[in-house]
Amino acid sequence: MNLSPVKLLPTCKDYIWGGTRLKTEFGKGGNLEKVAESWELSAHKDGESVISGGKFDSLSFSQYIERNGKGCIGENAEKFEFFPILIKLIDAADNLSVQVHPSDDYALKYEGEYGKTEMWYVVDCEKDAFLYYGFSKTISKEEFKERIENNTLLEVLNKVEIKKGDVFFIESGTIHAIGKGAFICEVQQNSNKTYRVYDYDRRDKNGNARELHIEKALEVTTLAPAKPYETENEKILAKCKYFTVEKFDCHGTCDIKLNKNCFRSVIVLSGEAKLKVGDSELDIKKGDSIFIPAQNGVATVTGTCEAIVSYV
């Protein structure tokens, strides 16, 4: 098995609320006019990452894993039926829909894929940017349904002003929405299952309203404020049974600890550096997504950069 780190090219999505920062600042999206999301680490059927460069160039991420054997993702990830996580960069030029994600139990039973617990790291945001995170109070299912029907749902959501560096942990069942002007790194379960409950009466390019999923949302939504979430130290942004996410800042020479139990995903948010694992070396820069196969040792980073490091 090749233990060298590899660069990944994302699948990009041009949803109606997307902006241009992923194109202009990160060089993503090709001919798309706007890029709402770039799926930086993905083995999901709705949009896989692709290996860029080296002996595995142009393989899909799933093909890369198949070629190298599951040992490259590590024992922790092998325990999951599917590759466990999906990592995105999100540019919200407009408000995203108010939505909720199902739990594993519900999604595996009715949708044939995992549920979706996720975390957000605010990479950047405009002044006065905000998001919705849970309810402002506990409500009944009847009130929830009534407020969806009469377009007063926003009145009972917890609206939070955001700033660069903020972290939010969104457990499945938590109602939420990213607001206009937010640029987010999202680490989530490997799922693309979203139930929309409110979408500002927006229309697509053909004049059609986007689909809502009211009945399913009524079954899976936690009708209460989101639980406070704290991690054991400030370096760890989020930790749960699905993923651990760390903030990595390097000025000079720094190490990322590796082990054979799990891969490491590195999403470079700013700067440039060299990343060395054993005899392999990669030049990395803002916007790069790096997959480091599971192995004992360290990845040595030399330069100045800011990154998100994720593993299971």
Q: Hey, what domains does the chain have and what are their CATH numbers?
A: 6-220 (2.60.120.10), 243-311 (2.60.120.10)
Q: What is the mean pLDDT of residues 38-46?
A: 97
At residue 36, the pLDDT reads 98
Query: What tens digit of pLDDT does each residue of 108-117 get?
Result: 999 999 999 9
How much is the average pLDDT of 268-293? 97
How far are the Cα atoms of 12, 222, 278 from residue 172, in angstroms, in the given order? 24, 9, 39
**What is the average per-residue pLDDT within 236-248?**
96
Checking if the pLDDT of 311 tops 70, the result is: yes
Note the pLDDT of residue 244: 97
* C-alpha closest to that of 227 among 187, 168, 186: 168
Q: What is the pLDDT of residue 2?
A: 54
pLDDT digit string (tens) for 44-92?
Answer: 999 999 999 999 999 999 999 999 999 999 999 999 989 999 999 999 9
Cα angle, residue 29 at apex, residues 72 and 272 outer, rounded to 5°? 60
Is the pLDDT at 218 greater than 60? The verdict is: yes
By annotation, the residues acting in catalysis are 196
